[in-house]
Structure 1
């Protein structure tokens, strides 16, 4: 960690934050509309085109913690940290298949959240509330991790105390409250331009300073071999299953997060989603280059017990102060965009699908929007308090659990888009089983890892816990659906129609 204040870098950092603060408040006037409804405050009127959606969904997927955590994994464990790259490769065809269909039915029925869709599709109130609760539980540590990423950046600048993080939070809370989803959409454009400049400079200039890519990889391999336990830039056979299941399970889960759904449902058409599925691989190239920063830090001799600080320290160590400030601002602003979207998405779920279902009374659009704004504010306060008073490691551990949990709504949401054969009650029981199994496996690893050793036929396979939990979930859902069908129990009403799922023609 740095001990002295980097004045020039801090000045550039603050100037960039001032720019995005102005942009965040101006966003309320962009495409002016009344923000007194969830449609406008929480989904920006569903009017975003291809370009804005590209930046917004990219801001969802590629967060500040991604920029810090993926290189940190490479810095600490070597090749296994690269699993994020194949998982994103798997993600885009999956997006192409399911998200336009999701947009179509939600647009036609006026659904704001995934739980809205599940409630309409299966007519099962407990299942819809389970989807909403899962989304909120999985999102809260994710918001906290964005603040953890911000904390690492602030620490690298040499700023002391908690006031810089609190100030950044106040700014985030204020413009999210006033501008809704429009604020992160505008800021995402600034953030992504800055990130591309940062990465382009890093992959060209840092290896040149360190003696070229050949030296970077050889030095990184040597440093990793000295770690305890030893690591490598190549996957070992014992890591194949964990690597593959992490990539596959993460791809299944990412589209189920509430903030992803919010970005998708704010689009103007299903065709916009398809175009984005084709264009978003440009972010994957960016992510692959970002991952290499972990090896750059090893080759540059950055030594830190906190792997999350490796990238900020690398920039401060190798770049001129003014450009280090610019790069750290790009990462810091990268925390604001997803944190804003996540808090909005979780607030929408609470307002529509928990509070609304519990009190069982309809609210006016203005009442819904007002409550969602307040809930969004409380969620950010909760995340800030958690980061300030609880060890950051707990946020990381809870986020690992969140990935396992969110995968358990796959049968209700994704399978529900294509078939209504499953019963709502069966899916709810499957969800309970999957949540219990996934939590149990993570707890057995003391919440230190989401990879669980499965013993099968005399062999031990280290797999991502979300996968066996989801398989159990599906088996329970299948068994109870068959049982309820055999008993002749009446089905709940499906509020959607076949025409709702048909894509509009260009």
Structure 2
């Protein structure tokens, strides 16, 4: 047991736990209202939204999963950097429209918007189920990150004893999420981001110094990748171009469809807040590029691990004094807690608004709605544990990529729906179904790897299954829309009008 690292870790963990519970008093609102518990009253300005979205999007995925892929496979792991650059022009253009129409009609979830736009309970239910399902592996990814740092500090027991620290952290997260709602991760995100920036700045200068400089790191990494079985590479091969590009594009299109991303957007105080953050958030992309290189540094440092997910924690133990390793581990763990809290809140909002209130208790009061969301936020976290227990985790990043396959199938209904409602609602439902089934099949046929080898006209094209499934989704939705319109089937009444998407407040 590394007692020094553990002590520092516990001090910071206790601090953010107290902060999480105290957050219920911050910008006080009636937490018996779902709008207050799940969206913090939609009052977050530019700075808080920046920290919230940063804490929401840059997670254990960045500190554990992406460097792990770089450690094991090489250049392919760098796909996460261009995808986070691609996404922000998209956010700048698209997300203010969603904020405006949601503010106008009181929408709390993407399913609320779809329900109003297409007048379809079934399509709204499909979007809600997809959002909840896609969130589960993403929360599980955060738990994998916490698990990695806990084990690095010396917890290696088997069974319940070995998992006890993770269970305790998980329980604390559940309690302050229940108590404080979205205010808790928003306040903790400020601490988390400051800790992560300190950690990465120190790592970026200190570790290369210890390893002989970047020139030596790149030379040694090329040799180390070539010696792997199967071999990795610092430079993409021509056979990897489409896989790399499709992973970047698919991940970019999916990122702001996730319920937790949309929750961060809808909690903003104005359209301009979203636009400012679209301009400011690329600062995190620079940090992500630094973090990705940690996987390469771990390889050059000769770190020996049973799982690539342990590469960064073991690198920190090898390079840093114990006290700073404890600080870095706390940053990673808190960086997992913040998004896990937001994700569970977002999934709870979906269930409560679009399943419980729509189908189970249509006459529920505001207090009943909020209480149900709080309870569901606990259940969602338990569901995320199932992904850790039952799915293979050679690379934790595959959890996020699996969620991406599912959530991307809501793109036609949500993103295209923000601009027009030309699609027939039943065509969208059937397109979604084809995309979900085909995408899930491809993911499991590939052994939950990041890419699927598509055999088409004598060619083999490895690419991200989410893109292939989305193409099928669109084809089915477009063809059936023409068919249904020819048969005289029309959409129901759209409760939105053009001006709703452009209003400033």
Residue-pair matches, total: 500
**Deviation digits for residues 128-172 of structure 1 (CA, Å, limit 9, x no counterpart):** 000000000100111111111100000001124222111111211
Q: Distance in 2 between matches of 1:367 and 1:220?
A: 56
More deviation, 387-396/231-240:
387-396
Contact 2:61 2:397 in 1 (8 A): no
Q: Deviations over 1:395-433 (max 9, x none)?
A: 765543321111100000000000111111110011011
Q: Give the 3-state SS of the residue equivalent to 1:99 in structure 2.
A: helix
Change (3 A) 1:246 1:333: same
Query: Does the 8 Å CA contact 2:91/2:278 hold for their aligned counterparts?
Result: yes
Equivalent pair of 1:83/1:243 in contact (CA under 8 Å): yes
Shift of 1:238: 0.6
Match of 1:451 in 2: 451
Q: How does 1:89-100 map to 2 (within 5 A)?
A: 89-100=85-96
TM-score under structure 1 normalisation?
0.96
Q: Which residue is 1:63 aligned to?
A: 59
* Preserved CA contact (<8 Å) 1:41 1:180: yes
User: Could you say if the C-alpha distance between residues 323 and 163 of structure 1 is closer, same or farther in structure 2, counting changes exceeding 3 Å?
Assistant: same
Report the equivalent of 1:501: 501
Partner secondary structure for residue 489 of structure 1: coil
Distance 1:498 1:474 in 2: 24
| Residues 245 and 353 of structure 1, relative CA distance in 2, 3 Å threshold | same
Secondary structure in structure 2 of the residue aligned to 1:112? coil
Q: Give the whole-Å Cα distance in 2 for the aligned partners of 1:422 and 1:230.
A: 46
Indicate whether 1:361 and 2:381 are aligned: no
Q: What's the secondary structure of 2:92's corresponding residue? A: helix
* Unpaired runs of at least 5, structure 2: 157-161
What is the alpha-carbon distance in structure 1 between the residues aligned to residue 377 and residue 108 of structure 2? 15
SS of the aligned residue for 1:461 comes to strand
RMSD: 1.5
Cα drift, residue 365 of structure 1 = 1.2
Asked if structure 2 preserves the Cα contact closer than 8 Å seen for 1:184 and 1:338, the reply is: yes
Contact 1:452–1:464 (8 Å) recurs in 2: yes
Asked if the contact 1:162/1:388 (under 8 Å) is kept, the reply is no
**1:450 Cα offset (Å):** 3.5
Q: Is the 8 A contact 1:169 1:384 kept in 2?
A: no
- 1:6–1:158 contact (8 Å) kept in structure 2: yes
The alpha-carbon deviation at position 360 of structure 1 amounts to 5.6
Q: Secondary structure at the match of 2:415?
A: helix
SS in 1 for 2:452: strand
Are the counterparts in 1 of residues 66 and 397 from structure 2 also a CA contact under 8 Å?
no
Equivalent position to 1:131, from 116, 127, 131: 127
2:465 and 2:56 map into 1 onto residues whose CA distance is 24
1:116 aligns with 2:112: yes
Q: Provide the rounded CA distance (Å) in 2 between the counterparts of 1:471 and 1:293.
A: 35
1:120-269 correspondence runs (5 A): 120-160=116-156, 161-269=162-270
- Counterparts of 1:231-310 in structure 2, within 5 Å, are 231-310=232-311
Q: Which residue of 2 aligns with 1:22?
A: 18
Deviations 1:41-93 (A, max 9, x none): 00000000000000111111111232101111110000000000011111010
The residue number in structure 1 matching 2:159 is none
Change (3 A) 1:23 1:254: same
Q: Secondary structure at 1:43's aligned position in 2?
A: helix
Cα drift, residue 175 of structure 1? 0.7
- Residues 319 and 450 (structure 1), Cα distance of their counterparts in 2 relative to 1, 3 Å cut: closer
**Distance apart, 1:459 and its partner CA:** 2.4
- Give the match for residue 36 of structure 1: 32
How far apart are residue 498 of structure 1 and its match?
1.4
SS of 2:462 mapped into structure 1: strand
- Distance in 1 between the 2:456 and 2:322 partners? 54
Q: Secondary structure at the match of 1:235?
A: coil
Report if the CA contact (8 A) 2:225-2:232 is conserved. yes
Determine the structure 1 residue equivalent to 2:403: 402
* 1:196 Cα offset (Å): 0.3
